[in-house]
Amino acid sequence: MEEADHSASRSFPLDTWLHNGSSIMVAGEAEVSMRVVLLLLWHGLSLFPTDLSQAGSSQHLSILEVVIPLKVTNRGRGAKTPVCLSYSLQFGGWRHIVHMKAKKLLVSRHLPVFTYMDQHALQQDQPFVPDDCYYHGYVEGVPESLVALSTCCGGFRGTLHINDLTYEIEPIRHSTTFEHVVYTVNTNETQFPSMRCGLTKKQTAHQQLEFEKAEKSTLKQNSTDNWWTHSWFLELAVVIDHNFFIYSQSNFSRVQEDVFLVVNIVDSIYQQLGTYVILIGTEIWNHGNVFPMVNIEQVLEDFSQWKQISLSQLQDDAAHIFIKNSLIIVLGIDYVAGICHLPIDCGINNFQGDPWSLFAITLAHELGHTLGMQHDEEVCLCGQGGCIMNAVRVPAERFTNCSYADFTKTTLNQGSCLHSPPSPGEVFMLKHCGNSVVEGEEECDCGSIKQCEQDPCCLLNCALRPGAACAFGLCCQDCKFMPSGELCRHQVNECDLPEWCNGTSHQCPEDGYVQDGIPCSDSAYCYQKRCNNHDEQCREIFGEGAQSASQNLAIKKINSQGSHFGHCGVNGTTYLKCNTSDIFCGRVQCENVGDIPHLRDHSALRHSHI
């Protein structure tokens, strides 16, 4: 919701706020009405009070306004850590009501940060990263608005996009009245030539010829859940070059907070594609760059080779490096459709001292290339305003129809690494005694001091207590191995096999199942622990009474079409016709259907007369 109100906020020309090129000082003592509601729990909360010298070059900033955020109380039942927040703020002569929802996947809970010691030895830290203070949302009454923020440090830091205008907000240092500063990001690039992506049509054609190989993706019965999905999960690793580190005043915490800020904006942008961008690790080159940075094409090649070896401990889907190099006159470069393909799942992003909202657009653009998106052409539309994949950078928050098509094609062909959200077993964790994970030569790991005091089997130093044979496992009970023959894993169906303890190990034997091809359920056969019975599948979908189509001719006719309703898999975006010998491996065809079930999303039924 936006309401005209010209009585509340204070605005000042940019130079009024700059003092000795660094700290912000309020010029004047004009009273700030509490009606001046601020919102903008915008992008990430700043660990460090506002410093405009770090906020971006003045060529991108215009009028500044002081605002005080006012919370809009929801009438519903609240929680200690609210999932949704609403705030009001006034700037630009308008009052804005912002609604935000908490994010949970922005940063890995066990985020590793790699830095270098004086002797250039790599060291690993695992700082505490709160996961309940990042938000994304919208402005009430503005359908295509975008809000991204964090509240991790008690103030609001971030960006919001309203009616093709971009604003940034940060808290004012040492303010006793919760004051924040909001400034407008100029929509027109003032540099000549305009800043643009370094990827040319010639380079794109060369990359496609050399790297883009379509992979056949055959769909198995009972294994199609991820073929069309609501959500994709892109696990991102970020590397910081030495100049970027120096720009951030050689402050590790500041670097990390700025990275969070940028990733938060990018994650909000990618929500429109149903994609979560999750930061799973960072490396900071605090003692100099690992390789020279002169030609951006060479930088991309060197980085792709370096990351394959030096970032191998991070199970990332893509790795991007943030550089700050004024000699490189382009914003970035990337391998097109490199996602899920080592070593080309990477890109370069050149920071030029821009406002963070503009640099986030650079990262969103280059990640778009990683995900297969080409530069937009005249036929590509995203509505009013700028589009993310424009070759020349403009403030933008939307992808075009062309970008959607490229993204869909890439994820269908090669997006397998994007299917699942990160889990504790997939995210890299710093190995150390006390993290409740048995690693290396540890006999056990009981976790914290308090947990270890209550553990009868494991000591604080990750060794077994005297007299204990084990501390965990399906075959460990009361610190002893369970007797041989004790059942440790039940049989789940007729194609599965039970497992028993052997009396000499705390681990249950590996899960086993009967040989593929063994008959099951009368007319079905076992395959990889499943009994693929068509009648049972029909009953699961349509209820009792439903059964597999009795006429083989009907099944053959439908599954040999190679269409959405009858096929034997997918090659890219093309449905594959079933061969005669594979006709029963295609889509399940049922008859005697009395009730139509409540279908899950992206499911469909077809009624055929044969």
- To the question of whether residue 369 is assigned a binding role by annotation, the answer is yes
The residues facing 235 across adjacent strands are 278
Cβ(169)–Cβ(182) below 8 Å: yes
Token output for 63 = 């009028």
Cross-strand bridge partners of residue 160: 147, 167
Among 429, 242, 421, 206, which residue's Cα sits nearest to residue 321? 242
Amino acid at 336: V
Q: Is 591 a known active-site residue? A: no
- Residue 151 CA to residue 44 CA, distance in Å, equals 6
Q: d(Cα 323, Cα 296) in Å, to the nearest integer?
A: 10
> Which H or E element spans position 404?
helix 401-414
Sequence letter at residue 83: V
SS3 readout for 155-206: CCEEEEEECCEEEEEEECCCCCCCCEEEEEECCCCCCCCCCECCCCHHHHHH
Cβ(222)–Cβ(589) below 8 Å: no
- Enclosing H/E stretch for 322: strand 318-323
| 414 vs 218: CA distance, rounded Å | 12
Residue 423, sorted as left (phi over 0), alpha (psi -120 to 50) or beta, turns out to be beta
Candidate list 189, 366, 397, 442, residue with the active-site label: 366
Cβ–Cβ under 8 Å, residues 134 and 123: no
CA-to-CA distance for 5 and 301, rounded, in angstroms? 53
Residue the block writes with tokens 């940075």: 293
Task: Answer yes or no: is 43 a known binding residue.
Answer: no
Whether the bond between 292 and the residue before it is cis, its omega within 30 degrees of 0, is: no
Binding-site residues for Zn(2+): 365, 369, 375
Binding-site residues: 365, 369, 375
Active-site residues, by number, are 366
